[in-house]
Structure 1
């Protein structure tokens, strides 16, 4: 009986991570016009649970976000930038990952 419980627990632990995937999306943020803007945007995105990495290209006014799709989605990311005062949208040519 103890072996069955251990096997079930091990099976559940090994199968759970397969459901989660790391996704990357590039957001266009046209309102990012000053030196402090990227700091505010980065902070807002890093506060979203599941965000793993935030890369900012100030010249192109874009942000590339890597996130765990079992914890967040693109709508949550764009909501975070909007709530911080910087409305964003998915960069042209990218598909909606969430």
Structure 2
């Protein structure tokens, strides 16, 4: 499954790496791509292993806000 999340607070390469690394370390996430310009994160994942809530939690643990 693929999902695009709107994330506030990401502004630099470090932000991008922090979020991508946190998501790629989740079991079930196959790819996470941060687009700083648009403030979006594209995530490809296996729904049987990880859910959107866990993905949002991982982003928020890095200090960024996921916007509905």
TM-score, normalising length from structure 2? 0.91
**2:49 maps to what in 1?**
71
| 2-structure distance, mates of 1:89, 1:70 | 24
Larger radius of gyration: 1
Q: Corresponding residue for 1:54?
A: 32
Pairs aligned (count):
68
Measure the CA separation in 2 of the matches of 1:45 and 1:81: 7
Q: Which runs of 4+ in 1 moved over 4 A?
A: none
Greater per-residue strand proportion: 2
In the alignment, structure 1 segments of 5+ residues that lack a partner are 1-22, 91-98
TM-score between both structures, scaled by the size of structure 1: 0.65
Q: Which has the higher helix share?
A: 1
**Greater RCO between the two (CA within 8 Å, min separation 6)?**
2
Do the aligned residues in 1 keep the contact of 2:8 with 2:67 (CA within 8 Å)?
no
